[in-house]
């Protein structure tokens, strides 16, 4: 039996659909938070649904009966709006995951796929003019206010060239959400060491697609742009729009989760392995906004120069490890994925 926490959510629901199509017995555990679910989710035939909070040990014990693998998708997502969000991030993501691994320890379940995020890296990978790997310091407020958005070498002040980040790069979380995702990774590793279980940690890059939460400040940037266009407004692009990202379609992310479940079945006890899950296509935030505007026949983006202090400039993925070890690669190209996303009906983009 597969248990998908957050299985009524954007990514979780796609994982459930794919798992059911493969003939797997699936149980969904979801709190149906009102800041994510504006209406009750549609049932999926043959899937058991348990409404519960990750911070409730009794609910978890009941949900884990007969489960041999957990796909942990439940989390409060997004960069956050203000410091007052910090307790909710910590409670939902860190305490919730701690309760989950404790319950897994009680149940004897031995396999965990953990949804992590690119945010654990902080800034992406960079090289200096000599080709040496460099990690820039956090960007200064004075630079951001002046429109100087590109990171520079902390030692020389020289410009840096962004590249692809891999799983062995240094982890440097720079906001509340990122800190909680890294804490989840550490909790998963501690569970594996303590129980002999195995963990596949999937570091998602920018996931998009039909079903993204909308009309919430915690939504992904693609959903925010689409929502503005659906209301006839121009998408507002922060900084200068040149932020490099890797947008990966939700169907590909779901496939990665199923591939990770298969991989876990062949691992030795206490295996912990992280995988970047990205499309391999580098694009910019401005290009995403412009592409959606064209597809939806809306006004062109407005570049605002605004910034969020906890954001990073460039972060793009090398997913070579997932290709080599999980036998997984993204198959949905960005152009067709955005076209599908732009054309989704309002009730599909929940």
β pairing state of 206-208 and 247-249: parallel
Rounded distance, CA 277 to CA 307, Å? Answer: 26
Classify the C-alpha dihedral 167-117-230-225 as positive or negative: negative
Which residue of the set 177, 204, 208, 307 is catalytic?
177
Closest CA to 259 of 336, 324, 316: 324
Written as six digits, the tokens of 68 are: 């041999």
177 in active site: yes
Tally the C-alpha atoms within 13 A of residue 74's C-alpha that lie toward its C-beta.
30
Write the CA distances from 254 to 136, 249, 260, 332, integer angstroms. 32, 9, 10, 12
Report the alpha-carbon distance of residue 329 to residue 316 in Å, rounded.
15
- In 3D, which of 315, 331, 253 has the Cα closest to residue 282? 315
The CB density around residue 142, as the number of other CB atoms within 10 Å, is 8
* Tokens 């998963």, located at residue: 188
Question: CA torsion 38→42→47→51, rounded to 10°?
Answer: 30
- CA torsion sign, 148 to 151 to 155 to 161? negative
* Strand bridging mode 236-237 / 244-245: unpaired
C-alpha closest to that of 51 among 32, 75, 25: 32
| Residue 214 contacts residue 349 (beta carbons within 8 Å) | yes
27 beta partners = 3, 48
Dihedrals phi, psi of 326, to nearest 5 degrees: -100, -10
Q: Catalytic amino acids?
A: 177
């Amino acid at each position: 039996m597969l248990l998908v926490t957050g299985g009524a959510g954007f990514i979780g629901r796609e994982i459930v659909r794919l798992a059911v199509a493969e003939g797997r017995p699936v149980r969904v555990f979801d709190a149906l938070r009102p800041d994510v679910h504006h209406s009750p989710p549609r049932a999926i035939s043959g899937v058991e649904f348990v409404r519960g909070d990750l911070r409730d040990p009794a609910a978890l014990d009941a949900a884990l009966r007969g489960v041999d693998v957990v796909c942990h998708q439940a989390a409060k997502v997004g960069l956050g709006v203000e410091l007052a969000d910090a307790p909710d991030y910590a409670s939902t993501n860190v305490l919730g995951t701690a309760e989950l691994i404790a319950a897994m320890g009680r149940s004897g379940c031995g396999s965990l796929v953990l949804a992590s995020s690119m945010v654990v890296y902080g800034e992406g990978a960079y090289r200096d003019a000599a080709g040496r790997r460099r990690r820039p310091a956090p960007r200064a407020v004075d630079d951001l206010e002046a429109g100087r958005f590109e990171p520079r070498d902390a030692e020389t002040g020289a410009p840096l060239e962004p590249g692809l980040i891999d799983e062995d790069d240094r982890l440097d979380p720079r906001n509340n959400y990122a800190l909680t995702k890294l804490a989840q990774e550490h909790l998963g590793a501690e569970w594996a060491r303590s129980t002999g279980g195995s963990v596949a940690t999937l570091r998602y890059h920018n996931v998009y697609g039909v079903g993204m939460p909308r009309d919430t400040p915690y939504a992904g940037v693609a959903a925010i742009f689409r929502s503005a266009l659906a209301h006839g407004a121009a998408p507002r692009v922060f900084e200068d729009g040149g932020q490099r990202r890797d947008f990966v379609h939700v169907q590909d992310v779901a496939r990665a989760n199923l591939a990770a479940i298969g991989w876990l079945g062949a691992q030795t006890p206490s295996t912990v392995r992280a995988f970047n899950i990205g499309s391999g296509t580098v694009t910019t935030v401005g290009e995403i906004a412009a592409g959606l505007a064209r597809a939806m026949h809306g006004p062109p983006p407005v570049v605002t120069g605004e910034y969020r202090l906890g954001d990073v400039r460039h972060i793009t993925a090398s997913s070579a490890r997932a290709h080599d070890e999980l036998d997984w690669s993204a198959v949905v190209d960005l152009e067709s994925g955005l076209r599908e996303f732009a054309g989704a009906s309002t009730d599909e983009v929940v």
